[in-house]
Every structure is written in C-alpha cells, then in structure tokens.
Amino acid sequence: MNTQKKPLKIAIVAYDLQPGGLSKVIVEVFKMLQSEYTVKLLLFNNTEILHESIPNIKVQIKDSLISRFNKYLRLKQILKENKFDFILDFRYRINPLTEFFWTKFIYNGNQIIYTIHSSKLETYLPKSTFLTKFFYGDSFKIVCVSKGIEQSAREKFDLKNLVTIYNSISIENKTETEFNFIENQYILAIGRFEKVKQFDKLIVAYSRSKLPSKNIKLVIVGNGTQFEACQKLVRELHLDESVQLTGYLENTKELYQNALLTVLCSKHEGFPMVILESLTAGIPVVSFDLETGPSEIILDKNNGLLVENQNFNKLIEAIETLVSNKELYNFCQSNTITSIEKFKTENIKEDWLKLFEN
C-alpha cells in the first residue's frame, strides 16, 4: 500500500449491534478496516453497545416523527462534517419510502457501498426492479456475502455493481479444554430464536431421532421471540433432560469445541457465521443445502454433510449417520480447518482493500 496517500475515511452505518451474526460481521469488518483506514461506526438506534472499544457516534432515537426527522438531520450533518470517502451500509432496507429518504437525502453526494446478508433479497432490496435500480443502481458497489446471493440479485435486477466479499473468520489453534457446562455428548445449534431459524422443528425432529436413547443431547444457544415457545415445547415432549436451551452466551468457543457436531436448519441464510465458527473449532457441520450460503462453505462428506433443503427427516438421518459412522466423522473432522482457509481474516481483508483502492 502506498504510505504517501492520505488514509481513507470510512463510515460504517448500522442500526445497532444486537446479539447475532450480523453484529459479529460488522465488528469484524470494522476491525479489519481500522488497521488501514480511519473508520467510524455510526449506530442509528439508541441501543446498548456490545463492543465498547469501538469508537462510534450514537444518534439518539425517540418515539416521535419530529425527533426521528431530527435524527436524520443529525446523521446527515455528521456525514457532511466528517467528509467520509466511503459509507458502508449494513442496514436492513425494507421500507421503500424510508429508502428514498436515505438514498436521495441522507446519502446524497457520498460514495455508498451497500451490503446484502441474506438470500431473502427483499430484506435489502425492493421487489421492484425499477425501485432497486433507482435507489442503488448508481451506488459505488453492492457487496454480497455469497456468490449465490450475487447471482440471484444479478439475475433478478440486472445490477452492474454487484460483488461478493465473504464473511471472514479468525482461525486459531484448537486448545484442550475442560468444559463441564454440558454433561455427556451433544449436538449444537446457535442462533436467534426466530421463525427463520426453525429451532422448534429441530426440537421435534430430535425427539423422533435415536439421539435421546443414545444419551446425545441437543443444545441450542440464543435468545429471541420464540425462546419461551421452544421451552414449552421441550417440556411438552418430555425432553427436559435431553434438550438444553442456554439463552444468549457471549462466548461460545468452548461449546463448539466440545460438541459432536453443529446443526444449521434455517429457512434461509446469506453466509452463516455459525458454520465458519464450528469448522474453525474443528467441528463438522450438518446443514440444509439452502439457496445460498452453506454449499459455498461445506463440502459434502468432506467437512460436513449437506442435506436436502427443508427435509427434517433427512437432516436427522444425516446427523445419525455422522455420529455413528466414525470413519466418515473422523474424515470430516480432519478437514474442518483446512477447508476454510480462504475465509481467513487476512484473505477477506485483501478483498475489502481491493474494493476501496480500485
């Protein structure tokens, strides 16, 4: 890098850093870019900051249209005063009226890089091709977190400014742990307790499997609107001794390292960090072969198993196979860390630097 150049100034805009995969991605991108550029994190909602070491500007929110408009004005003023070279937008973008305000007023005159983190494109782009091109067609770039998302968005909207940059992961050597939080063997699922994650269906499928009789537990980590309903379901199925719902945990490293395998059973994903985190810990993954995401990380029967999308019977069969077939399990486990070398932080960082420098 040319050290004579003045470092770029970059703003990362997000609504908040509530617990979840997206927050982890935002923090990781911030740390990567901070080592090269001047980076500010602008959080639009007034929520608790999970990573207090990150310098940021919090724009307060109140429950009135006038104060909300003032908040928009304040954010626009912040962008104007700081004269950022790029603005990296990590928001969900659902409301077309709101997006008109963001794209044509708040961001007007700035180089914007938008991001898409889900195969459910309407979370980030309007269903209308006209509106999508009107709002985002002239932006600097639209970064997709998987090739599948990029291809889908390109085919649907004919956008010319799409690019894929994968989520990254720091790969550390697996350490020996003395972990007694969960007794006996267990399979692991991690995520927010929302309908899209389908933890209720996973619990039912688990109850019909051979795993409880083999004293292999199911551990699910996370919080969300479906948490209490899943607790009730566990009681109704008399699985209190077999299924453990831990709630949200800040540190899940040892949980991964001590699991037999990790399960992903979502309706849809973009590029699930759960898979990367599990493989980094040396633990194979069994996942639905979703429209985007898992197939770009998991090599079937190499570092885990891919299962027919949304077939929970096949999902349980795959879990039972991987648990009982020691030769297959050991082979998959031996490939976990080497299979995700291309997602290492230093490699993904280079992709971001190329995007800005070019």
Residue 148: C-alpha distances to residues 45, 167, 270, 272, 295 (Å): 30, 14, 8, 13, 9
The CA-based dihedral angle spanning residues 348, 166, 151, 268, taken in that order and rounded to the nearest 10 degrees: 180
Hey, CA dihedral for 58, 139, 162, 102, is it positive or negative? positive
Alpha carbons within 13 angstroms on the beta-carbon side of residue 325 total: 16
* Closest among 134, 128, 124 to 268, alpha carbons compared: 124
Predicted local distance difference test score (pLDDT) of residue 47: 44
Give pTM, 2 decimals: 0.85
Predicted local distance difference test score (pLDDT) of residue 201: 97
Cα–Cα distance for residue pair 13/59, rounded to 1 Å: 11
Average pLDDT across each block of 10 residues of the chain; the chain has 358 residues. List them in order: 69 86 89 91 64 48 58 86 94 92 92 95 94 96 96 95 94 54 82 95 97 95 95 96 93 92 96 94 96 95 97 97 95 95 94 91
Cα–Cα distance for residue pair 139/109, rounded to 1 Å: 10
The tokens for 333 are 């486990």
φ, ψ of residue 187 in degrees (nearest 5): -105, 155
Q: Beta-carbon neighbour count of residue 246 at 10 Å?
A: 16
Predicted local distance difference test score (pLDDT) of residue 171: 74
Element (H, E) at 186: strand 185-190
What is the DSSP track for 115-161?
A: EE--S-GGGTS-S-HHHHHHHHTTSSEEEESSHHHHHHHHHHH--SS
Predicted local distance difference test score (pLDDT) of residue 22: 86
φ, ψ of residue 40 in degrees (nearest 5): -120, 140
82 burial level (CB within 10 Å; 0-12, 13-18, 19+): middle
